[in-house]
Structure 1
Amino acid sequence: MSVVEKFIQQLVVFDIFVMLSVNCVVVFSSRVGDENVKCLHTEKEALLTFKRELLDVDGRLSSWGNEGFSQDCCSWRGVSCDNQTGNVIGLDLRGPSGPNASVAIAPLTGKISPALQELKQLKYLDISYNRISGGIPDFFASLSKLEYLNLSCVGDEFTTIPINLGNLSSLNTLDLSYNGFLSVNNLEWILHLRQLRYLAIGYVNNLNNSVYTWLFNLSNLTHLDLSGNALYGSFPDAFWNMKSLQHLDLSRNALGGGFPRCLGSSSNLKLFRLSANNLDGQLPEIMRNLSCVSGSLEYLNLEENHIGGSLTDNVANFASLRELRLGRNKLNEYFPGVVGKLPSLVILDLSWNRIEGSVPDLSLLSSLRELYLSHNQLTGLTESFGRLSKLEKLYLDFNQLEGTISAAHLFNLSQLRELDLSYNAQLHIRVSSDWIPPFQLDLIRFAHCKLGPEFPNWLLNQKNISELDFSASGILGDVPSWFWDQLPRVSFLNLSYNDIAGNIPDLSNKMSDLLCIDLATNKFSGPVPQIPTGVVTIDLSSNMFSGTISFICDNFDYLGYLDLSDNRLSGELPQCWTLRTIVHLNLGNNNFFGKIPNSIGSLQTMGMLHLQNNHLSGELPRSLANCKKLRVIDVGSNNLSGKIPAWIGNNISDIIIIILRSNRFSGSIPSSICQLTKLQILDLSDNKISGTIPKCINNLAAMTEEESIMQQIKSWYFQVNDEGDVTINASYDETAVLTWKGRQFEYSSILGMVKSIDLSSNNLVGEIPIEITSLVGLHGLNLSRNNLTGNIPLRIGQMRALNFLDLNRNDLTGEIPAGLSQLSHLGVLNLSYNNLSGRIPLGEQLLTFDNRSYIGNDGLCGRPLTEACSLEELPQDPSLIDEDEFITEEFYISMGISFLSAFLVVSALILNKRWTYGPLRYLEVNNVTSHSAILSS
């Protein structure tokens, strides 16, 4: 549990204990007193009836009336009794509460039995985090002694809150939060709850500003949670009149504007959360407006707003402040040294801002345990960090830190558990080879720092590492043999983009907790190592691994991402494809041979399949039609044959990229491909495909849109446990190698912007269908080296996004359409070796191409060719030229297209660079898991 959670828990527990009466405290204590006092028979029967209405998968209520357990209901799990009368006064049946639940248990499901009405003395009722159907029962109002009622997160069938809950005059704690189907239209009944001190109605349905009408009359509230609702407008200054408030949570609403000044000095507010709203204004003014709570405030969270400015001296007045969260705002200028004047501060979060300069001396923050300064523009550090003896978490990633981190920066950090210095490309980490760190780290991230060239020997002293990221950190040479035995608890290991060599031993027993391993782009060799079957992500690409991949036959329960591309692997692909959770499979650029096994069709969660640049033969297996989530299929540069299967369009509707180039596919292009409305890249080049280009090609809807709805083709894979809590959430940018302007480039972070068709080097016949000109979003069109006849479509000028057009070596006739001169983005044009005739159209765009774009057309004349045109071929008086032939509406539109847009798209398309460093960069790892669910976005 984090320091924040402990701190909040302490506040909440304190509030609850203050609010509850002496009798209610008995609920939390052991049963003492007369040993002969037992529960009442009527109440025992009521509990058994209540139990019969519920489904209890994990036997949480197994002690209730079952043989072998006590028949005294006061000793049953979750039941508390008055130790004098034997009356049941408490039921604590709270279910699993999110990913941090201490025990993995299933929730209770079913209805709440009316038999609970028999518990006349019930004071405490908690059935939160279960799956209760039927709504909040009206009979709750008859439980007149009830003081504590927690119905948070109990299902999805609630409609409205029974207004007779207002009869619970003794109620001091009410929690209805996290019930998205609970409609809160009227809270007038709440005014009758005069004893109410704790109210939580966060994340419910239909709760808006009308709630203020009733809440501001509850002057005795100490805890109010309205988070995750639809509150809007400015922060109401009436909150300052609620002098008893100690905890106010308005996070994740739509509150905006400035911040009202609080008046007086009698406020007792300790926790104030306004994160994830639309607040703007300057931070110095906001802190001044909070002056009335400067003496009491311990927790302030304003992250994820639009607040500018910087911390000024007035923050020093908040001497009690223990946690200050201002991340994800617009704070600028230099790092505020004033934060060093907050002696009680335990957590400081200034991440994701625009803070510049060096981090000042913070050694006076003697209580500081967590410091988050990620994603700023910081350039320097001082050795004062080494004196923060209580510091447990230090995050300085994604800054512009320069210089050297030495042992002096870290010498007294004996409590440090998490250290992230990654993505500071000019930061050197330099310690002696015999340095013994004062800490035991759980998390180490030095990605994209200057850590190498030697492998850090100080890791020998670290026994508790669960996450290690040394990617792109300049490490050279072999991994020491001790390293693989040093990480028995590691779940996340990333050594990618270094120059590390050597063989990897069997990891299946050495790293039994391993979830994610990324060793891509190194010089590892030998066979692919055995890896624990609980792993979720494996990236061993761009190394020198050899041998077969028989390990695929192991029972990987959760594997979502497997990349073994660019190695020296060989043999036939295994028949035993049992990766039931795989989303991304990349075996490209190896030496595999033989047929693609039919069993690969069992990978029904697969979204990305890369088998390119191998020696695979035979046809595409029909079983792939079962992989209905496929979005990318790349089997280019193999020896595959047969017809292009119709199921590609008939069975798989979400496919975005099809690359079948450089194989031996024959037959015609199936018309079913026209059903792929999301298709953006189609490469069938260098095959033996015959027939005509389908006229239905204009149905490729994604190619008819000039603007791309996505920049990356991003996919996600998840792992969830028994309670449905996500424990691993990983995303990655899909990559593809495309032939562009005669060269091959790998695209990743801009792949979603690329739209192209390449049908070159086939045996296509017939005319270029006029329907192709409807694909106005196309950036590249290559129909070269076929047997196409007829004219170039006259309306080709409306394809304004074209950057690359290649029609060379066909039998095209007629004139070059004047509309070609309107394509202002056109960077490559090749019309050579056809039977085109007439004058090359005038226009500055076409004059930018040299004669190589037009040679081999004996009937062409005019610049840039040397053949002059005859008088008959000279243009008429411009005033007589038909506007529809040349100066069209599209011409004016094209001339108005932004130069910036052209620069971003065209320049990006020629980058031969992989912009990302593997999927693990986006990974979040939480707790141990049991089940897996795979989704693709």
Structure 2
Amino acid sequence: MEKTGDTQSCQNKNEEDIPKSSPFDFVIKQFQGKKSSSGKRKEQPSAIQKFFSGFDFGKSEGKERQEIEETEINNCGADDQSEKENLSVEDESSQLISEAESPPGEQRFNQFMQKLGKKPNSKNLDLNNCALSAADVTELASLLPFLPELEEISLSWNGCVGGTLKTLTAQFHHVKLLKVLRLNNCRLSAEDVTSLGEAFEIVPQLEELDLSWNSNIGGKLSLLTKKLRKGSKIKLLKITDCNLTAKDGESLAEILNVLPNLEVLDLSINKHIGCSMKVIAQDLKNVPGLKELNLHMCGLKQDSLQGLDTALQHLTALRKLDISCNKEIGGGFKDSTAHLASLKNLEVLDLHQCCVTEEDMSVLSQVIPLLSSLQELNLSWNKNIGVSSDPLLGRLRFLPKLKSVAISNCGLGMESFSSLAEAALHLPELEILDLSWNKCVGGNLKLLLGALKLATEIQVLRLSSCNLVAEDLALLTLLSHDGHLARLQKLDLSYNNTISDEGWMVFCQGLTVFKELSELDVSLRPSSCRACGTWFSELLAALTKLPALAELGMQRWVLSELQRKQLEGFNQDNKRNIRFDC
């Protein structure tokens, strides 16, 4: 209530500034001001002025007012003090006119936003992570009538919104143009969910609804979904990590037929939703325009995967499919990829940590190369990919539009790594390559030499825990000196304890060629520590010539007191803001 009080006191202050006088006093002073400015004669108050001073002019009729005005026009005297008062009144009059031109509601809104450190925007209300109080929400609700053009409301990461949402939604009839509503992590209650459902009829233009990270929604989704009506314009629906139950999944399935415009559906991190995935999949045919389906960590099982594959035949517009971190679908791909290959528009496929088996690999090796529009492929944390004899990695050459390939911790052997290196020669648009946690890369990075030369667009290279040696770092430095890797922005060399001090020295001496590098990580493994060698001075010297560098990871390198002071003083001395993670 403190902030509401501030607003009230501000209003009271404005009221006190308005002169407590009758309309006749105001008129008299205006005429006195005009005459005084022209004649500047000192005269005593006229008899008429003395006569009328005893009356309550606020109750006078129009005829009396006219007589007074005519009388005062004929009097032209005022002393210097009166002249100052007249000018003051005129200033106040101008101020009142100015305030009349600017609506009070707009002024209150501007003050409210400024109080929260935000710039006022009549179309986009962004109050994410503003530590809003219940009083703030109430005040905001009172301002909605003055924001008829409002299209976006973002109140995410404000826990006090929970329990007060009804106050806000009750005013939604004033913002009928609302298209986007974001309420992530607001601690929404059952009452909030109910009031939100009731508001759907008031905001028919709503296109995006994000309720992620509100755990209390679990088991109560029907309070929301039963209010949706056929023909809803919702295009994006995100309910990430809301503790959804199998019953919630059924409620969601029932409304898919009233969401014909749905393009993005995100149910990620709801471990119990997998039990109703078959039911949801049956109704996905009602959203043929779906472009993004996120089912990360949803507790999917093999039968869920089969139902999903059946639905894919109706989702020809799909651009992104994320079914990662569903370990129990491993072994189900062999019976559930009949329609995956038909997704000719698919650009992103995320299968990381799905416990893919060798049998699954046989099918995926046939299907994935047929996804001609694929740009991002994540197969990380599936160790059978590296040991399988099926040539999936070699067949990536048939996907020339690939921009991101993540094969971290896939147990790559020399054969599979060589296949990948050969396929990479046919990926000219590659921007991100993640080979972390594949030990065979160490000492064999030269196999990727040709691909790294051709990949002129590469921006991110992750080689964490790859058993790299000095020769590998020398290769990277050589590539850079020859003009390759010129666009590299992020380089992860962490957890490579196998690199000698001489290797770090060569690398640091050639580091300055990475002009666009913004992030560099050379940290050691958690279980080890090691003193910085003579290469530290080379690193420090290189930092001054890396204008884009913002983060440097050096965890578990033991620094001397002098070296620590040098790092601490670097930013100040060079007017930089590098975050040293030591």
Superposition pairs for residues 274-673 of structure 1, below 5 Å?
274-290=239-255, 293-305=258-270, 307-308=272-273, 309-313=275-279, 314-316=282-284, 318-320=286-288, 322=290, 323-332=292-301, 334-340=303-309, 342=311, 362=312, 365-377=315-327, 378-380=329-331, 381-382=333-334, 384=338, 385-403=340-358, 404=361, 408-427=366-385, 428=388, 429-430=390-391, 436-449=397-410, 451-454=412-415, 455-456=418-419, 457-473=422-438, 475=440, 478=444, 479-480=446-447, 481-490=449-458, 491-494=460-463, 496-497=465-466, 504-505=474-475, 506-509=478-481, 510-517=484-491, 537=493, 540-543=496-499, 546=502, 549=505, 552=508, 561-563=521-523, 578=540, 582-584=552-554, 599-604=562-567
Cα distance change of structure 1 residues 934 and 231 upon mapping to structure 2, 3 Å threshold: same
Residues 95-138 of structure 1 show CA distances to partners (whole Å, capped at 9, x for unaligned) of: xxxxxxxxxxxxxxxxxxxxxx99x9xxxxxxxxxxxxxxxx99
Code of the aligned partner of 1:275: T
- Quick check: 2:296–2:326 contact (8 Å CA) kept in 1? no
1:216 corresponds to 2:170: yes
Q: Which has the higher contact order (CA 8 A, sep 6+)?
A: 2
SS of the aligned residue for 1:337 comes to: helix
Distance 1:329 1:282 in 2: 14
1:287 CA displacement: 2.2
Code of the aligned partner of 1:458: A
Equivalenced residues, count: 426
Q: Which residue of 2 aligns with 1:233?
A: 189
Cα distance change of structure 1 residues 152 and 379 upon mapping to structure 2, 3 Å threshold: farther
- Quick check: 1:399–1:424 contact (8 Å CA) kept in 2? yes
- Quick check: 2:145–2:171 contact (8 Å CA) kept in 1? no
Q: Which residue of 2 aligns with 1:178?
A: 128
- Quick check: 2:453–2:479 contact (8 Å CA) kept in 1? no
Cα distance change of structure 1 residues 440 and 501 upon mapping to structure 2, 3 Å threshold: farther
**1 or 2, which has the higher helix percentage?**
2
SS of the aligned residue for 1:492 comes to: strand
Mean alpha-carbon deviation: is it higher for 204-213 or for 374-383? 204-213
Distance 2:393 2:437 in 1: 21
1:402 CA displacement: 1.3
Q: Which residue of 2 aligns with 1:60?
A: none
Code of the aligned partner of 1:508: S
Distance 2:452 2:377 in 1: 21
- Quick check: 1:231–1:254 contact (8 Å CA) kept in 2? yes
Cα distance change of structure 1 residues 333 and 430 upon mapping to structure 2, 3 Å threshold: closer
Distance 2:402 2:232 in 1: 38
Residues 54-89 of structure 1 show CA distances to partners (whole Å, capped at 9, x for unaligned) of: xxxxxxxxxxxxxxxxxxxxxxxxxxxxxxxxxxxx
**1 or 2, which has the higher strand percentage?**
1
Superposition pairs for residues 881-920 of structure 1, below 5 Å?
none
Distance 1:207 1:511 in 2: 47
Residues 506-538 of structure 1 show CA distances to partners (whole Å, capped at 9, x for unaligned) of: 2433223334445xxxxxxxxxxxxxxxxxx55
1:569 CA displacement: 12
1:240 CA displacement: 4.7
Distance 1:229 1:431 in 2: 40
Distance 2:294 2:111 in 1: 29
Question: What TM-score does the superposition give when structure 1 sets the normalisation length?
Answer: 0.38
Residues 210-267 of structure 1 show CA distances to partners (whole Å, capped at 9, x for unaligned) of: 3313523534454352514635222214245436253334334454332225158445
Code of the aligned partner of 1:494: L
Distance 2:166 2:435 in 1: 52
Superposition pairs for residues 786-797 of structure 1, below 5 Å?
none
SS of the aligned residue for 1:232 comes to: coil
Residues 292-320 of structure 1 show CA distances to partners (whole Å, capped at 9, x for unaligned) of: 72445444334344643232344245334
Residues 352-388 of structure 1 show CA distances to partners (whole Å, capped at 9, x for unaligned) of: xxxxxxxxxx455422221111111222435644443
Distance 1:264 1:547 in 2: 62
1:445 CA displacement: 1.6
Distance 1:585 1:188 in 2: 48
Residues 607-630 of structure 1 show CA distances to partners (whole Å, capped at 9, x for unaligned) of: xxxxxxxxxxxxxxxxxxx99xxx
1:574 CA displacement: 5.9
Question: What TM-score does the superposition give when structure 2 sets the normalisation length?
Answer: 0.58
SS of the aligned residue for 1:508 comes to: helix
Cα distance change of structure 1 residues 317 and 138 upon mapping to structure 2, 3 Å threshold: farther
SS of the aligned residue for 2:138 comes to: coil
Cα distance change of structure 1 residues 549 and 508 upon mapping to structure 2, 3 Å threshold: same
Distance 2:255 2:198 in 1: 14
The counterpart of 1:262, out of the listed 223, 226, 237, is 226
Cα distance change of structure 1 residues 337 and 315 upon mapping to structure 2, 3 Å threshold: farther
SS of the aligned residue for 2:425 comes to: helix
- Quick check: 1:413–1:439 contact (8 Å CA) kept in 2? no
- Quick check: 2:470–2:504 contact (8 Å CA) kept in 1? no
CA-based RMSD of the aligned residues comes to: 4.9
SS of the aligned residue for 2:563 comes to: helix
Residues 686-733 of structure 1 show CA distances to partners (whole Å, capped at 9, x for unaligned) of: xxxxxxxxxxxxxxxxxxxxxxxxxxxxxxxxxxxx9xxxxxxxxxxx
Distance 2:258 2:471 in 1: 60
1:398 CA displacement: 0.8
Cα distance change of structure 1 residues 232 and 493 upon mapping to structure 2, 3 Å threshold: closer
1:329 CA displacement: 3.9
Q: Give structure 2 stretches of 5+ with no counterpart.
A: 1-94, 544-550
- Quick check: 2:429–2:455 contact (8 Å CA) kept in 1? yes
1:459 CA displacement: 1.4
Identity of aligned residues (%): 17
Distance 2:395 2:288 in 1: 42
Distance 1:587 1:562 in 2: 9
Distance 1:197 1:548 in 2: 55
Mean alpha-carbon deviation: is it higher for 567-576 or for 465-474? 567-576
Distance 1:434 1:221 in 2: 49
- Quick check: 1:544–1:568 contact (8 Å CA) kept in 2? no
1:180 CA displacement: 0.8
